[in-house]
Amino acid sequence: MRLLLGLLLGMGLGVAQANAPASSTRPEARGGGALPEKVRIVRVSASKLAPALSQRPQARGGNLGQTRSVRIAARIVPGAVSVRPKQRPKVTIRKVAGGTTQRAGLFKKRAPKASAKGSVCGVNEIKGQKIAPIRGSIRGCGVADPVAVTSVSGVALSTPARVDCGTAKALNAWVANSLKPTVGKLGGGVSSLRVAAHYACRTRNNKRGARISEHGKGRAIDISAINLRNGQTITVLEGWNRKVEGQILRKVHKGACGPFGTVLGPNSDRYHRNHFHFDTARYRSGPYCR
């Protein structure tokens, strides 16, 4: 009986092993635990494998382009991401309105340049003060944003000149780039300028029915003399036809043509025999200088 029972149990166990499934039917745990892994055998060329096998620099003269294949175990992890660094975005720098710069989407505003005390029109070399808007007594006159200029580039004006900033800047450019270099060290250099006229609500040459003068718009200034540091004075009226003084006056007259739109002197007409007329009117044909 025992022998018969052993035979029957052996036969049953063999049948069960023969019908057993190839893999376990136990369900995988949901969530948590290590990520499931699969392993498979793949073939890759040495040229593709080289960067992954080692980060050590390759010896010069090597040939990773060989087509030799190797068998490796490739581990595939679900959800894995590439660790290769992404290409950095290009950074562009450009100027935009308002004096700002743009870099990689960020704006950086430039700090405005501070003006020296007593300066006007944003130029340190122009001294004076802002004054209230000027309303003209006749139509066409007046200055919306005037300044009273007392000196430009270290050269004083005999009286504060009421003009707009465009005219003040043109006067400063003329003094710095033409008047001072031309006079040089003669008489110790330029000390001051005698102002014959600045803002005045009137017509051109005070003629009835004429157009409003640029003086009536704060865009003009008249200069009748150049004062030197040694007390000497070069006047337009008396110096124009003299040898040394005449050369200086003619040169600075020409030097004003550019910073100013209109430059008139003794050779223009009888109204300007004793002074230079400078204004910032602009013409399509360019500066008008006589």
pLDDT for residue 45: 52
Structure tokens at 233: 């004075």
- E-strand stretches of 229-283: 233-235, 262-264, 276-279
Give the mean pLDDT of 216-223.
Answer: 98
Do residues 73 and 39 lie in contact, with contact meaning Cβ atoms separated by under 8 Å? yes
Which of 15-29, 96-110, 263-277 tops mean pLDDT? 263-277
Mean pLDDT value of segment 96-111 = 43
Q: What's the pLDDT score for residue 23?
A: 46
Q: 126 or 17: whose pLDDT is higher?
A: 126
Query: In the structure, what pLDDT confidence band is assigned to residue 87 with cuts at 50, 70 and 90?
Result: low
Q: Give which of 264, 159, 154, 277 is closest to 223, Cα–Cα.
A: 277
Find the mean pLDDT for residues 43-66: 49
pLDDT confidence of residue 209 = 81
Mean of pLDDT over the chain: 76
Give the whole-angstrom CA distance, residue 247 versus residue 225. 14
User: Which two three-digit tokens encode residue 110?
Assistant: 């430039």
Amino acid (1-letter code) at residue 98: G
Pairing of strands 134-135, 142-143: antiparallel
User: What's the CA gap between 3 and 179, in Å, rounded?
Assistant: 136
Strand partners, 225: 194, 235
Strands (E), 164-284: 190-197, 220-228, 233-235, 262-264, 276-279
The 10 Å CB-count burial string (b at 16+, else e) for 152-184 is bbebebeebbbbbbebbbbbbbbbbebbbebbe
Chain Cα centroid distance, residue 226:
39
> What integer pLDDT is reported at residue 192 of this predicted model?
98
- Parallel, antiparallel or unpaired: strands 262-264 and 288-289: parallel
Q: Which amino acid is at 159?
A: T
pLDDT number for residue 88: 58
Q: What is the pLDDT of residue 109?
A: 45
- 185 sits in which H/E element: none
